[in-house]
Structure 1
Amino acid sequence: MHQPTRVAIVLGTRPELVKLTDLIRLLGPAAHLVHTGQHYDEALSGRFLDELGLPEPTFLTGVGGQPRAVQISAALAQLDELFTAEPPAAVVVQGDTNAALSGALAANARGIPLLHVEAGLRSHDRAMPEEHNRVLIDRIADVLCAATPENRANLLAEGIDEARIAVTGNTVVEAVRNQLPAQPERTALLARHGLTADSYLLATIHRPENTDSPAALSAILTELAALAEELPVLLPLHPRTRARIEAAELTPLLAPLSVTAPLGYSEFLALARHSALLVSDSGGIQEECTVLGRPLVVVRRSTERPEAMAEFADLVPPGPEIGRAARRRLASGAAGLARLAALPSPFGDGLASDRIVGLLARLTTPAQPVAA
C-alpha cells in the first residue's frame, strides 16, 4: 500500500490520544503529532504519551485552561503558522474537541486535505459545545470517517455528499483490544485494589454539565454513596472534579467511596472489564463498554452514541434514576454479564485504523495525468 507523505494529526485531549494511537503507529514516520495542550498536564496527557508509546508531539502553548473561544483562536493561530512553515499532505482530526475544530479550520484555511475520524455523531443537543464542533468539522472535511451506518445516515440527512463519507468502524475497538492488559495483570490489579471480579462498581464524573452544577454533582455522589452500601464503588477522581466537589462542600459524600487518582488507560480498561457495572458521563466509555461487554449507566442529558443504548447502556439524568437504573442492571447478575459479553460491539471490527490509512493514502496521492 502507498504510504502517504507527512500527515499532521492534531489533538488535544486524552481520548484523542487513545483513539488515534493505532493510526499513528500505522503511519509511522509519516505521522506528525501536534498536541494543542487543550487538556495537557504531565500527570494526565504526559503519562498517556508514555504509556501508549507515542512519539513526542509538537506542543502548542497558551491553550489549556482558557475559555473555548480563546482555546480555538490560540490553537488556530499557531497551527496556521506551523502549516505555513511545513505544509502537511493532509490533516487528521478526531471527534469533537476544540483541538479538532482548530485543526480542521487551520487545514481549511490553507487548502490542506482534511480527514475527520469519528464523523457524523449527533446528540441533537445544541447546549453541547461539542455538538457545534462536530457539525462544523463535518461541513468542511474532505473525507468523513463515520464509525457506524447510523453516523453515515446523520451526514446524508444533512446533505453531505455521499462520496465524501466512508463507514470505517470506530478506532476505539482496536484501542481497547490492544491496550487491555492480559488476564494475569488484571488479576493482580484487582488484588491491589482489594476488589473481586464482577462484584464492584466503577464510576467516573467529569463533564461540566455534572461538575459545574453543585446540585447535579451532589445528586450523583449521593446515589453513588447509596450504591456503596451494597457493593464497593471505585471512583477515579479527575483533579477538576475534585476541585468542584471541594468548592461545593460535598467532600463528605466521598467517604463511602473508594476514591483514587486518575488511572492510566490500560489500568482503567482492566478495572472496567471486571466491574459489575460502570456509571459515567464519558462519551468514550459508552463505546468501550460495548467492546468489554459490560453494562453502563450514562449520567447525561443527551448522547451522541445511541448505538450503545440498544443493549449496553441506559441514559439517565443526575438523581434517583441513577440508582434505579444501576440496580436494574445489577439484578441481572452473572447471566446479564454473560449476555453482554457475547454481543458484538456496534462500533466495528477493530480494523478502522487500517481503513483510515487506506483513505489517507488515496487522499494524499497526486492525481495521475490522463494519457493522451
Structure 2
Amino acid sequence: MHTLPARSIALVLGTRPELVKLAELIRVLGPAARVVHTGQHYDDELSGDFLAELGLPEPEYLTGVGGRPRAVQVAAALGALDELFAADPPLAVVVQGDTNAALAGALAANARDLPLVHVEAGLRSHDRAMPEEHNRVLIDRLADVLCAATPDNRALLLAEGLPEDRIAVTGNPVVEAVRDHLPPAGERARLLARHGLAADGYLLATVHRPENTDDPAALAAVLTGLADLAAELPVVLPLHPRTRARIAAAGLTGLLDGLTVLPPAGYGTFLALARHAAALVSDSGGVQEETTVLGRPLVVVRRSTERPEALADFAELVAPGPAIAAAVRRRLAEGPAGLRRLSALPSPYGDGTASDRIADLTAHLARERAVPGSGHAMAA
C-alpha cells in the first residue's frame, strides 16, 4: 500500500479478537495503517502482550473507556475519536466485527463524513437480546464497503436492502490469522508436554460471555458440565479475568478444583492447545471460526450464534448444563475417524487471502477520497 500516505487508514479496535483479525490487514497496509485502541478490554493479559506477539505497531490509546457500561463506553470512545478525526482526518476508517469499539469507530467516521469499511459484515444471530447484534446491524447500515466473510453473509445484507455494489465477499481474516500464528509441530509438542497433556487426549474450554458469566446459575451449570467431563479427560480452562471474578463473586471457586486452570493464553499458545484438543467447549465467536481452520470439533455454549456456517460440520449449539457433556461425548465417540474427517474439510470462512482483498478495497476507497485540497494528496 505504498501509494497511500502514512497513517491515512484508521483501524479502530478495542478487544483482543479485533487485534487478532486485523493484524494481517495492518501489516499489508504498512505505514498507511493508523491503529487506534479504544481500551474497551485493554489490559496486559488480554491486549498488551498481543501487540508484541502479533508484531503490531503501538496504537494510539483512548482513555476512560474500559470497564464502563456499554452506553458510556460507546459515548466516551465516540467523543475521543471525534477529536482525533477532527484534528487529523484519515482517508478511511476500518472497523471489524460488532464490539462497542467498532460501533464507536463507525459512528465517528459517519459524523466526520469519512469512508467506512466494515470487516466481517453481515453476521446475524437474529437474537435481539445480544448487544452485539444491535452493534453489527448499525455498523452495516453506516459502512461504505461491507466485507462479508461468506456468501450467506452477503445474502443476509441483500435481504436487508443494502446495495449490492457496497458488498464484497472477502472471506474472514481469521483464516490467515490461524495459519500465521499456529506454532510449528515441535513447539506444540513441547507445550503439551509442559502441561502433561497428550495430543487428542484432553478438552479445551473457554467461557467469557455475559450470558454465561453474569448469571450465577448459568455459570454454575457450565462449570458443572466441565467438571463432569474432567472425570473422563483433562479439561484445560484458560480463565478470562472477568470470568474468574464472576466465579469468585458467585462462590463457585470449588468447581474449578478438577480442571486444569491456566491464565489467559497468548494467541499462539491457544491455537496450539486447540489444534490437539479432542474437542473444545466455548462461548466465543472467534473460536467457532478458528476450529474450522484447525479441524477440531466444538460445543458452543450459547443460546444463539451469528456463525451458522460452523454448525454444518464442526460445531453444535447447546445450553449450559448436562447438554454440554452429552454433546462432547457424542463428538468423542466419533474417535480418530471423526477428527480426520474434520481436518479434511475446508473452512467455510475462506482461503486465507481475505486481508489482501480487504486492503485493496480499503485502498480504492481511500484513493477516491484523496482529492486535491483534502489534506491527503496521494503519492505519485
In structure 2, what is the equivalent of residue 177 of structure 1? 179
Instruction: State how far apart, in whole Å, the 1-side matches of 2:46 and 2:369 are.
Output: 42
Gap regions ≥5 residues in structure 2: 372-380
The correspondence of residues 27-46 of structure 1 with structure 2, limited to 5 A, is: 27-46=29-48
1:73-113 deviation per Cα after TM superposition (whole angstroms, max 9, x unaligned): 00000100000100000000000000000000000000000
Instruction: State how far apart, in whole Å, the 1-side matches of 2:246 and 2:2 are.
Output: 49
Instruction: State how far apart, in whole Å, the 1-side matches of 2:63 and 2:286 are.
Output: 26
User: Is 2:146 aligned against 1:144?
Assistant: yes
Q: In the TM superposition, what is the alpha-carbon distance from 1:44 to its structure 2 partner?
A: 1.8
In structure 2, what is the equivalent of residue 313 of structure 1? 315
- Partner letter of residue 324 of structure 2? I
Q: Secondary structure at the match of 1:366?
A: helix
User: Is 2:282 aligned against 1:280?
Assistant: yes
In structure 1, what is the equivalent of residue 209 of structure 2? 207
In structure 1, what is the equivalent of residue 93 of structure 2? 91
In structure 1, what is the equivalent of residue 221 of structure 2? 219
Question: What TM-score do the two structures reach when normalised by structure 1?
Answer: 0.98
The correspondence of residues 160-309 of structure 1 with structure 2, limited to 5 A, is: 160-309=162-311
Instruction: State how far apart, in whole Å, the 2-side matches of 1:2 and 1:203 are.
Output: 42
Q: Secondary structure at the match of 1:170?
A: coil
The alignment-based identity, stated in percent, is 75
Q: In the TM superposition, what is the alpha-carbon distance from 1:266 to its structure 2 partner?
A: 0.3
Instruction: State how far apart, in whole Å, the 1-side matches of 2:116 and 2:18 are.
Output: 16
Instruction: State how far apart, in whole Å, the 2-side matches of 1:316 and 1:273 are.
Output: 22
Instruction: State how far apart, in whole Å, the 1-side matches of 2:367 and 2:46 are.
Output: 36
Q: Secondary structure at the match of 2:81?
A: helix
CA 1:368–1:270 in structure 2 vs 1: closer, same or farther (change >3 Å)? closer
CA 1:65–1:151 in structure 2 vs 1: closer, same or farther (change >3 Å)? same
Q: Would the aligned equivalents of 1:2 and 1:361 in 2 still touch at CA under 8 Å? A: no
In structure 2, what is the equivalent of residue 4 of structure 1? 4
Q: Secondary structure at the match of 2:368?
A: coil
Instruction: State how far apart, in whole Å, the 1-side matches of 2:304 and 2:95 are.
Output: 23
Gap regions ≥5 residues in structure 1: none
Q: Secondary structure at the match of 1:145?
A: strand
Instruction: State how far apart, in whole Å, the 2-side matches of 1:67 and 1:91 are.
Output: 24
Instruction: State how far apart, in whole Å, the 2-side matches of 1:247 and 1:65 are.
Output: 17
In structure 2, what is the equivalent of residue 127 of structure 1? 129
Q: In the TM superposition, what is the alpha-carbon distance from 1:249 to its structure 2 partner?
A: 0.8
Q: In the TM superposition, what is the alpha-carbon distance from 1:360 to its structure 2 partner?
A: 1.1
1:315-347 deviation per Cα after TM superposition (whole angstroms, max 9, x unaligned): 001011111101000100100000000000000
Q: Secondary structure at the match of 2:237?
A: strand
Q: Would the aligned equivalents of 1:4 and 1:89 in 2 still touch at CA under 8 Å? A: no
Out of 12, 18, 21, the position equivalent to 2:20 is 18
Out of 317, 326, 329, the position equivalent to 1:327 is 329
Instruction: State how far apart, in whole Å, the 2-side matches of 1:346 and 1:356 are.
Output: 17
After the TM superposition, which parts of structure 1 deviate over 3 Å for at least 4 consecutive aligned residues? 1-5, 366-369
CA 1:291–1:246 in structure 2 vs 1: closer, same or farther (change >3 Å)? same
Q: In the TM superposition, what is the alpha-carbon distance from 1:239 to its structure 2 partner?
A: 1.0
Instruction: State how far apart, in whole Å, the 2-side matches of 1:82 and 1:30 are.
Output: 16
In structure 1, what is the equivalent of residue 345 of structure 2? 343
Instruction: State how far apart, in whole Å, the 2-side matches of 1:294 and 1:274 are.
Output: 8
In structure 2, what is the equivalent of residue 65 of structure 1? 67
- Partner letter of residue 292 of structure 1? L
Q: Would the aligned equivalents of 1:294 and 1:341 in 2 still touch at CA under 8 Å? A: yes
Instruction: State how far apart, in whole Å, the 1-side matches of 2:66 and 2:254 are.
Output: 30
Q: In the TM superposition, what is the alpha-carbon distance from 1:204 to its structure 2 partner?
A: 0.3
Q: In the TM superposition, what is the alpha-carbon distance from 1:364 to its structure 2 partner?
A: 1.2
Q: Secondary structure at the match of 2:281?
A: strand
Q: Would the aligned equivalents of 1:293 and 1:337 in 2 still touch at CA under 8 Å? A: yes
Q: Would the aligned equivalents of 1:3 and 1:27 in 2 still touch at CA under 8 Å? A: no
Q: Figure out how many residues of one structure are paired with residues of the other and give that number.
A: 369
- Partner letter of residue 28 of structure 2? L
Q: Would the aligned equivalents of 2:192 and 2:198 in 1 still touch at CA under 8 Å? A: yes
In structure 1, what is the equivalent of residue 158 of structure 2? 156
Q: In the TM superposition, what is the alpha-carbon distance from 1:355 to its structure 2 partner?
A: 0.2
Q: In the TM superposition, what is the alpha-carbon distance from 1:43 to its structure 2 partner?
A: 2.1
Out of 118, 136, 147, the position equivalent to 2:120 is 118
1:35-61 deviation per Cα after TM superposition (whole angstroms, max 9, x unaligned): 000000122200111111100000000
In structure 2, what is the equivalent of residue 77 of structure 1? 79
Q: Would the aligned equivalents of 1:148 and 1:169 in 2 still touch at CA under 8 Å? A: yes
- Partner letter of residue 178 of structure 2? V
- Partner letter of residue 223 of structure 2? L
Instruction: State how far apart, in whole Å, the 2-side matches of 1:360 and 1:304 are.
Output: 25
1:193-227 deviation per Cα after TM superposition (whole angstroms, max 9, x unaligned): 10000010000000000000111011111110010
Q: In the TM superposition, what is the alpha-carbon distance from 1:4 to its structure 2 partner?
A: 3.2
How big is the alpha-carbon RMSD for the aligned residues of Structure 1 and Structure 2?
A: 1.1
Question: What TM-score do the two structures reach when normalised by structure 2?
Answer: 0.96
Instruction: State how far apart, in whole Å, the 2-side matches of 1:281 and 1:229 are.
Output: 22
CA 1:367–1:111 in structure 2 vs 1: closer, same or farther (change >3 Å)? closer
Out of 55, 58, 74, the position equivalent to 1:56 is 58
- Partner letter of residue 4 of structure 1? L
Q: Secondary structure at the match of 1:124?
A: coil
